């Protein structure tokens, strides 16, 4: 963790401008081509959902703005963010919130995330909650065109919430490619559209860099 000197920060004016707004959060949804990730995870018996979580977290951590946080009124730069995701229990229609460190390659992460999720019995593990997370969710039953998240804007420090929220919907076929709608909700005090564009580009590069399955 590194403390940011806001007075010397290139983003100071934008940060102060959006800090005066009662709701500085905004949402963007875009289409992502997930064909390479789908082709990598499915033949290997890996969860596509957890593979997406790995790829998104990897891409997000590569863009410095997404590792910015506001803690006790101080802007800080985190060393990394870890994923906290919704997951359905085996044979259950009730989701749980599972948090796993973002370590290892995609294969090891997917297997560890599966293990932690299967072992978890509570709805959430409060000991794993922090401001150094990324919140993930998925609606695989519908094509996602937009999504917002619940927030208690009346809570103390609500506007300091700097945890990115990412969600996606059903994978569909389009011109022989597998695509989905991916939604991001972020705090404009720290993150601009250019940073979302950098994330989207890095995500695509990561997926395309995965080795295809060979028999």
Per-residue pLDDT tens over the stretch 79-138: 999 999 999 877 778 899 999 999 999 999 999 999 999 999 899 999 999 999 999 999
Supply the pLDDT for residue 213. Answer: 55
6 CB-near residues (< 8 Å, 6+ apart): 12, 15, 75
- In this structure, whether the domain defined by 2-208 belongs to CATH 3.30.930.10 is answered with no
Tell me the C-alpha to C-alpha distance, in Å, between residue 42 and each of 51, 97, 177: 10, 24, 15
Mean pLDDT of the chain: 95
Residue 164 has pLDDT above 70, yes or no: yes
Picking from 22, 33, 6, 15, the residue whose alpha carbon sits closest to that of residue 168 is 33
Picking from 15, 59, 61, the residue whose alpha carbon sits closest to that of residue 160 is 15
- In this predicted model, what pLDDT tens digit does every residue of 10-52 receive, in sequence order? 999 999 999 999 999 999 999 999 999 999 999 999 999 999 9
State how far the Cα of 64 lies from the Cα of 77, in Å rounded to an integer. 8
Strands (E), the chain: 2-3, 25-33, 68-71, 74-77, 82-88, 95-99, 133-139, 165-169, 172-174, 177-187
Neighbours of 39 (CB within 10 A): 16
Task: Write down the domain spans for the chain.
Answer: 2-208
State how far the Cα of 19 lies from the Cα of 100, in Å rounded to an integer. 31
The model's pTM is 0.94
Joined together, the tokens standing for residue 81 give 């963010």
CA 107 to chain centre: 18
Residue 1 has pLDDT above 90, yes or no: no
Supply the pLDDT for residue 214. Answer: 46
């Amino acid at each position: 963790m590194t403390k940011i000197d806001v007075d010397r920060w290139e983003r100071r004016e934008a940060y102060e401008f959006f800090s005066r707004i009662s709701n500085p959060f905004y949402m963007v949804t875009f289409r992502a081509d997930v064909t390479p990730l789908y082709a990598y995870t499915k033949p290997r018996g890996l969860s596509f959902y957890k593979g997406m979580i790995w790829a998104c977290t990897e891409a997000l951590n590569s863009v410095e703005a997404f590792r910015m946080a506001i803690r006790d009124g101080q802007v800080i730069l985190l060393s990394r963010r870890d994923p906290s995701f919704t997951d359905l229990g085996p044979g259950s229609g009730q989701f749980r919130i599972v948090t796993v460190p973002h370590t290892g390659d995609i294969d090891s992460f997917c297997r560890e995330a599966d293990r932690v999720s299967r072992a978890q019995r509570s709805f959430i593990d409060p000991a794993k909650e922090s401001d150094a997370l990324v919140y993930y969710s998925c609606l695989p039953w519908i094509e996602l065109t937009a999504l917002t998240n619940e927030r208690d804007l009346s809570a103390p420090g609500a506007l300091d919430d700097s945890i990115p929220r990412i969600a996606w919907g059903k994978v569909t076929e389009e011109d022989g490619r597998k695509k989905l709608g991916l939604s991001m909700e972020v705090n404009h005090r720290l993150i601009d559209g250019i940073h979302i564009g950098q994330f989207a580009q890095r995500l695509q590069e990561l997926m395309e860099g995965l080795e295809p399955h060979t028999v």
